[in-house]
Copies of this chain bind each other. A is one copy, B any other.
Amino acid sequence: MTLKVTDLSVGRGGIRLLSGVNFALVPGQALVLRGPNGSGKTSLLRCLAGLTPPLAGRIEMAEDAIALAGHADGIKAQLSVAENLQFWAAMFGSANIRPALEAFDLIPLATRRAGELSAGQKRRVSLARLLVTGRPIWCLDEPTVSLDTENVARFAAAVTAHLATGGSAILATHIDLGFAAETLDIRQFATPREAQQNTDPFAWDAAQ
């Protein structure tokens, strides 16, 4: 279940953002992506999750290993919290959603319409979805946004439990995650200007 990335280069909107990205993620490991706004964390995660094809390089991992939780919550306002999770459980073929509900203290909210939740409550639902997927590799984009300290702790507990059971996680964040993990500063992969050029066929001999 290791994720191995070699010489990956990632683009967004026709621009090459990152190049020569190399890292490996072994079971039980958590990797935190750090970098200033607009440095390409989200783009990298979307690329790992297979949403955007890489411009170059290889991503080696098992089939259907990744679960993604992006900036958007992916919650249906009309459905109750439980119904939302049940849908994802059905999609990923996992049986019961109770552990997920308990992990993020969602039992009291289970019957509420998801549209009537506060920002942080919505966030917890979308994090609970990760447990339901049963996927080994978690790609999380700023997971602790608008969570209070208590729920940050719950999140940390969930992640450590996931790691303990041989899972792994790669997280992008600017704020505290509530647990210790090795960080990867992606500024080192920022594409230098000259490399920039030959990605776009229309930018021939641009002035340096």
Contacts and interface: CB of A to CB of B under 8 A. Distances in A.
Interface in A162-188: 174-176
A148 B13 CA distance: 22
A36 B150 contact: yes
**Tally of this chain's copies:** 2
A146 interface: yes
A35 B147 CA distance: 11
A145 B175 CA distance: 9
Interface of A: 13, 35-38, 42, 71, 116-121, 123-124, 142, 145-151, 174-176
19 contacts: A13-B116, A35-B148, A36-B120, A36-B148, A36-B150, A36-B151, A37-B118, A37-B119, A37-B123, A37-B146, A38-B117, A38-B118, A42-B119, A71-B146, A119-B142, A120-B174, A147-B174, A175-B175, A175-B176
Given A36-B148, A37-B121, 4 more contacts: A35-B148, A36-B120, A38-B118, A42-B118
